[in-house]
Chains A and B, each alone.
Chain A
Amino acid sequence: MNYFGLFFLLFISFAAHARDSLPAVLKRMHTDSAVKLAYQERKDLTLMAQPWHGEGFLYSLPKEGVMIKQQLKPERVLMAVIGQQLFYYDVKNQLRHQGLLDESHPFSLNVAVFKALMSQDMLLLEQFYQLDFLSQADQWQLILKDKNDPDSAFKIIISGPLQRPANRIDIQQADGDSSIMSLSKIAEGEKVEQEIENLLRQLTQSTH
Chain B
Amino acid sequence: MLLRILFYGLPLLLAALTYNGVSFKTDLSTFIVSGKNADEALLAHAMQSGNLSRRYLIAITSNTNQAVEPQFIQQLIAQLKRIDKVTDVWNPEQKKQALNALQTLYVNHANSIYSLHPEDDLNTLFSTQGLHQKAHFLKQALLSPQASLIKPIALQDPLLLTLNGFQGLAKKFKAQPTTSYQNLILETRPSGMDTAAQKAIQQAILARFKALNANQNYQLEMTGVPVFAVTTQGLIQGDIIKISVVSSLALMLLFLWAFRSLFQMFQVFTLLAIVILSAILITASIFGYIHGMTIAIGATLVGICIDYPIHALVHAQQSSQQPPRSIIVQIWPSMLLGGVTTMIGYLALGVSGYPGFQQVAVFAASGIVIALLITRFMLPALVIQSAQPVRIVGIQSWIHLCQRYRKIGWTMIAVFLMVAIWPLSHLQWMQDMQQLTPELDDLKQQDRRIRARMTSIEPGRFILVSGDTTELALRHAEQVYKRLDQLKQQQALSEYFGLFPWLLSSQQQRLNQKTLKAKLTPTNIKHWQDALQQEGLSVTKLGHLNYPSNPPLTLDVIFKTPVKHLLDSRIMQQADKTIILIGLSQHTPEIVRQAFSDWSHARYFSQRDLLNAMLNDYTQMAKKLLLAGVGLIMLLMLHRYRSLTMTVSTLLPALLAALFILSSWAIAGVAISFLHLVAFLLVVAICVDYGIFYQENRGGNILVTYQAMTVSMLTSALAFGSLLAAESTSLKILAGVVSLGVLIGFMLCPLIIQQAENTDKLKN
**A residues apposed to B, CB below 8 Å:** 2, 4, 43, 45-50, 52, 54, 79, 83-86, 88, 90, 93, 97-104, 106-108, 175, 177, 207-208
Closest to A204 in B: B177
Does B541 contact A46, Cβ atoms closer than 8 Å? yes
Does A100 contact B147, Cβ atoms closer than 8 Å? no
**Selected interface stretch from B136-144, B633-641, B738-746:** B136-144
Does B154 touch A at the CB level, under 8 Å?
Answer: yes
15 examples of A-B residue contacts, CB within 8 angstroms:
A4-B145, A46-B538, A48-B142, A48-B538, A49-B532, A50-B536, A52-B536, A83-B67, A84-B70, A85-B179, A101-B70, A104-B96, A108-B70, A177-B151, A207-B177
Closest to A51 in B: B536
Does B148 contact A100, Cβ atoms closer than 8 Å? no
B628-656 interface mask toward A, CB cutoff 8 Å, 1 = contact, 0 = none?
Answer: 00000000000000000000000000000
Does B399 touch A at the CB level, under 8 Å?
Answer: no
A203 to chain B, nearest CB (A): 13
A101-B70 Cα distance, complex, nearest whole Å: 8
Contact of B70 among A97, A103, A106, A208 (CB under 8 A): A103
B418 to chain A, nearest CB (A): 64
Q: A103: which B residues are within 8 A, CB to CB?
A: 70-71, 74
Does B485 touch A at the CB level, under 8 Å?
Answer: no
Does B175 contact A102, Cβ atoms closer than 8 Å? no
Closest to B73 in A: A102
Closest to B136 in A: A93
Contact of B538 among A47, A84, A99, A106 (CB under 8 A): A47
Contact of B145 among A50, A52, A86, A104 (CB under 8 A): A86
Does B533 touch A at the CB level, under 8 Å?
Answer: yes
A86-B74 Cα distance, complex, nearest whole Å: 18
Known contacts A2-B145, A48-B139, A90-B140; 11 additional CB pairs below 8 A are A4-B145, A45-B142, A47-B151, A47-B537, A47-B538, A54-B143, A79-B145, A84-B69, A102-B73, A103-B71, A208-B177
Does B10 touch A at the CB level, under 8 Å?
Answer: no
B150-170 interface mask toward A, CB cutoff 8 Å, 1 = contact, 0 = none?
Answer: 010011000000000000000
A4-B144 Cα distance, complex, nearest whole Å: 9
A102-B73 Cα distance, complex, nearest whole Å: 10
Closest to A106 in B: B148
Does B533 contact A52, Cβ atoms closer than 8 Å? no
Q: A99: which B residues are within 8 A, CB to CB?
A: 95
Does B539 touch A at the CB level, under 8 Å?
Answer: yes
Does B537 contact A48, Cβ atoms closer than 8 Å? yes
With A100-B70, A103-B74 as given contacts, are A47 and B177 in contact (CB-CB < 8 Å)? no
Q: Main secondary structure on chain B at its contact with chain A? A: helix
A46-B148 Cα distance, complex, nearest whole Å: 13
A176 to chain B, nearest CB (A): 11
Q: Give 9 closest A-B pairs by Cβ, nearest first.
A: A102-B70, A208-B177, A49-B538, A47-B538, A47-B541, A49-B536, A4-B145, A50-B536, A106-B148
A90-B541 Cα distance, complex, nearest whole Å: 26
B527-568 interface mask toward A, CB cutoff 8 Å, 1 = contact, 0 = none?
Answer: 000001100111101100000000000000000000000000
Q: B73: which A residues are within 8 A, CB to CB?
A: 102
Does B179 contact A100, Cβ atoms closer than 8 Å? yes
A84-B73 Cα distance, complex, nearest whole Å: 13
A140 to chain B, nearest CB (A): 29
Q: B69: which A residues are within 8 A, CB to CB?
A: 84
The number of chain B residues touching the other chain, given as a range, is 20 to 34
Closest to A4 in B: B145
Q: A52: which B residues are within 8 A, CB to CB?
A: 143, 536
Closest to A3 in B: B147
Does B142 contact A107, Cβ atoms closer than 8 Å? no
A43 to chain B, nearest CB (A): 7
Does B145 contact A47, Cβ atoms closer than 8 Å? no
A97-B171 Cα distance, complex, nearest whole Å: 11
Does B177 contact A107, Cβ atoms closer than 8 Å? no
Closest to B147 in A: A2
Closest to A173 in B: B148
Most buried by A among B67, B145, B532, B536: B145
Closest to A54 in B: B143
Does B176 contact A100, Cβ atoms closer than 8 Å? yes
With A98-B175, A100-B70, A100-B176 as given contacts, are A107 and B538 in contact (CB-CB < 8 Å)? no
Q: B542: which A residues are within 8 A, CB to CB?
A: 47
With A84-B69, A84-B70, A102-B96 as given contacts, are A47 and B179 in contact (CB-CB < 8 Å)? no
A101-B73 Cα distance, complex, nearest whole Å: 12
With A48-B537, A102-B96, A104-B96 as given contacts, are A85 and B145 in contact (CB-CB < 8 Å)? no
Closest to A5 in B: B145
Q: A108: which B residues are within 8 A, CB to CB?
A: 70
Closest to B151 in A: A47
Closest to A101 in B: B70
B59-76 interface mask toward A, CB cutoff 8 Å, 1 = contact, 0 = none?
Answer: 000000001011101100
B405-421 interface mask toward A, CB cutoff 8 Å, 1 = contact, 0 = none?
Answer: 00000000000000000
A107-B148 Cα distance, complex, nearest whole Å: 11
Q: B539: which A residues are within 8 A, CB to CB?
A: 49
A137 to chain B, nearest CB (A): 36
Does A2 contact B74, Cβ atoms closer than 8 Å? no
A93-B133 Cα distance, complex, nearest whole Å: 12
A48-B150 Cα distance, complex, nearest whole Å: 13
Q: A90: which B residues are within 8 A, CB to CB?
A: 140
A52 to chain B, nearest CB (A): 7
Q: B154: which A residues are within 8 A, CB to CB?
A: 47
A79-B140 Cα distance, complex, nearest whole Å: 13
Q: B145: which A residues are within 8 A, CB to CB?
A: 2, 4, 79, 86, 88, 107
Q: A50: which B residues are within 8 A, CB to CB?
A: 536
A120-B179 Cα distance, complex, nearest whole Å: 28
Q: B139: which A residues are within 8 A, CB to CB?
A: 48
A4-B143 Cα distance, complex, nearest whole Å: 10
A86 to chain B, nearest CB (A): 6
With A102-B70, A103-B74, A104-B96 as given contacts, are A49 and B177 in contact (CB-CB < 8 Å)? no
Closest to A86 in B: B145
A2-B95 Cα distance, complex, nearest whole Å: 20
Does B537 contact A85, Cβ atoms closer than 8 Å? no
Q: B147: which A residues are within 8 A, CB to CB?
A: 2
A46 to chain B, nearest CB (A): 7
Q: B146: which A residues are within 8 A, CB to CB?
A: 97
Q: B532: which A residues are within 8 A, CB to CB?
A: 49
A152 to chain B, nearest CB (A): 15
With A49-B533, A84-B69 as given contacts, are A2 and B148 in contact (CB-CB < 8 Å)? yes
Does B143 contact A43, Cβ atoms closer than 8 Å? yes
Q: B144: which A residues are within 8 A, CB to CB?
A: 88
Q: A208: which B residues are within 8 A, CB to CB?
A: 177
A51 to chain B, nearest CB (A): 9
Q: B179: which A residues are within 8 A, CB to CB?
A: 84-85, 100
A100-B96 Cα distance, complex, nearest whole Å: 10
Q: A107: which B residues are within 8 A, CB to CB?
A: 145
Contact of B67 among A46, A48, A85 (CB under 8 A): A85
Does A207 contact B175, Cβ atoms closer than 8 Å? yes
A86-B95 Cα distance, complex, nearest whole Å: 14
A45-B148 Cα distance, complex, nearest whole Å: 12
Does B70 contact A48, Cβ atoms closer than 8 Å? no
A46-B536 Cα distance, complex, nearest whole Å: 11
B164-192 interface mask toward A, CB cutoff 8 Å, 1 = contact, 0 = none?
Answer: 00000000000111010000000000000
Contact of B176 among A4, A54, A98 (CB under 8 A): A98
Does A48 contact B176, Cβ atoms closer than 8 Å? no
A56 to chain B, nearest CB (A): 13
A50-B539 Cα distance, complex, nearest whole Å: 11
A65 to chain B, nearest CB (A): 10
A102-B75 Cα distance, complex, nearest whole Å: 12
Closest to B532 in A: A49
A98-B178 Cα distance, complex, nearest whole Å: 10
A159 to chain B, nearest CB (A): 24
Closest to A112 in B: B71
Closest to B178 in A: A208
Q: B96: which A residues are within 8 A, CB to CB?
A: 102, 104
Contact of B537 among A49, A93, A97 (CB under 8 A): A49
